[in-house]
Amino acid sequence: MYNKFNSLVSILLFTFIVTSSITATTVKKIKIGFFEAGKYDIHSILRDEYFKQLESLLPDSIQIITIPEGYRSADWNRPASKKMAGELARLKNIDMILAIGPWVVQDLLDAGFDKPIIGMHQFNPKAEGLTIANDRPKAENLTVHFRPGKVAEDIRALTKLMPVERLGVLAFSSDDTANSVYNHIKALGDQLGFKVFSATEFDNEGTFAFYKSYNTLKKKHVDAIYLGPLWGLNSLDIENFFEMLNKEKVPSFTDEGSLLIRVGATATNNYFGLISEAYYNAYKTLEIINGTTPADLPIILRSNSHLAINKHSAKLCELKMRADAYNSYEIIGAENNSDITPSTLSELVSRAISQNPKILSQIDLLDAAEAQNAIAKSSYKPQIYGDAAYNYTDNNYHHNLSNSSEKEIFTSALHISQTLFHLKNSKRLKQPKH
């Protein structure tokens, strides 16, 4: 009897060990890469929320692994984005990729990436040509999303909040996206009785430049601005951008949500949008892991609008809101400027330069001249070089907080010289007047 009992215990123990071993080996590991056009605070927040939501949805039998070699950020340079897409397409140890922002989805498809692509935070997937008839993604391995009528909802909310006769539109130009959005808003303006203006300026690398574009746009004397994602701007640039708009008393309405409202945008219709977007895409990721073809997944995100106003920015813009706005909008307070840590002089000088479109344009000319210099050396063309200097004349730099470009001195010069090898023909070009 004792031997039988021992045999039974041994069999049960062996069965438990084998079962546990089988269970342990059935955990499915999914390796996810991440690709963005450039670093952007909202991308980071959205990515973190996505993985948080995904972990909460996944069963114990599935484990998510993010691989370091699957991470790419193109620093807002389109040629770099295309190159990185090719690198990702050649990776073998990757199961799917999370692609956030402009360019990256199209660049992955062009590079032949054939694993699932979860396209997030695309401002207008339809305008970028990422969908075809019946709102289906253009590639079987792709899923994207959009919210029908979102821009129209934003514009109607904007016009209820503030009187608008001349609306400015600044949207990151990605292929035909900017023109499509601009034409759509222009049509809405025709319906609602206001004019719409836009501007599209680029830096030397061909990337949309918000400060330059605004400098062009403000010549149209717009009384409010509608903004798409502020791609290409870092945290300080974004704060400075809204500070500039508020000083010029131009209220801003952002397509994005809570983060931009808290740093100075006047209003948004998408306050909790990032949470909805993260959960929606986490759910679709789980469906893909379970075998669903990405293009078969729904791409319409039906989330409720949530209105929010930055009360401090509205006050700076002298925006007179109707009393009922306070009942229907989330009212966000803003930090008092006296509590802000004073910047160093070098930071203020850098900010003054970044906010001054005239300075930026002259620096661009110098950069372009320097790029041509290498060509000149190889073909005996005149040599071109330049220099620039910036000085702030007030030692009491706290005054700079109220006007970053006040009492400034900026000088720049282009120099051209040419030397011929034959002495009898040697000559020197006159330098242009500075």
Q: Determine the Cα–Cα distance for residues 183 and 333; give it in Å rounded to an integer.
A: 34
CATH value at residue 174: 3.40.50.2300
320 and 202, same structural domain? yes
* 93 touches 30 (CB < 8 A): no
72 and 208, same structural domain? no
- Report the pLDDT value the prediction gives residue 237, as an integer from 0 to 100: 94
Residue 1 lies in a domain: no
Residue 3 lies in a domain: no
For 417, the domain range is 345-425
300 and 183, same structural domain? yes
Q: Determine the Cα–Cα distance for residues 99 and 102; give it in Å rounded to an integer.
A: 9
Q: Determine the Cα–Cα distance for residues 164 and 185; give it in Å rounded to an integer.
A: 13
Q: Determine the Cα–Cα distance for residues 197 and 183; give it in Å rounded to an integer.
A: 10
- Strands lying side by side in the sheet with 142-143: 62-73, 28-36, 96-100, 117-120, 142-143
- Report the pLDDT value the prediction gives residue 3, as an integer from 0 to 100: 56
One-letter amino acid at 270 equals N
Give the end of a domain, one of 337, 359, 390. 337
The Cα-based distances of 158 to 254, 304, 320, 426 in angstroms read: 10, 16, 13, 66
- Report the pLDDT value the prediction gives residue 325, as an integer from 0 to 100: 63
One-letter amino acid at 392 equals Y
Identify the DSSP state of 111: T
The domain tally of the chain equals 3
- Report the pLDDT value the prediction gives residue 114, as an integer from 0 to 100: 96
172-226: per-residue pLDDT in tens? 876 555 677 888 899 999 999 999 999 989 888 888 999 999 999 999 999 999 9
Residue 156 lies in a domain: yes
Residue 243 lies in a domain: yes
The Cα-based distances of 144 to 125, 130, 263, 290 in angstroms read: 7, 8, 28, 18
- Report the pLDDT value the prediction gives residue 380, as an integer from 0 to 100: 52
> Which H or E element spans position 168?
strand 166-170
Residue 116 lies in a domain: yes
> Which H or E element spans position 90?
none
- Report the pLDDT value the prediction gives residue 414, as an integer from 0 to 100: 56
**Average confidence (pLDDT) per 10 residues, the chain, 434 residues:** 54 54 71 95 92 93 92 94 96 95 95 97 86 90 91 90 92 70 90 94 88 93 94 93 95 88 90 85 96 95 81 90 67 51 47 50 55 52 52 35 41 54 44 45
* 254 touches 197 (CB < 8 A): no
How many CA atoms, within 13 angstroms, populate the side-chain half-sphere of residue 369?
19
230 and 122, same structural domain? no
Phi then psi for residue 386, to 5 deg, are: -145, 165
126 and 58, same structural domain? yes
DSSP reduced 3-state for 198: strand
- Report the pLDDT value the prediction gives residue 148, as an integer from 0 to 100: 86
386 and 263, same structural domain? no
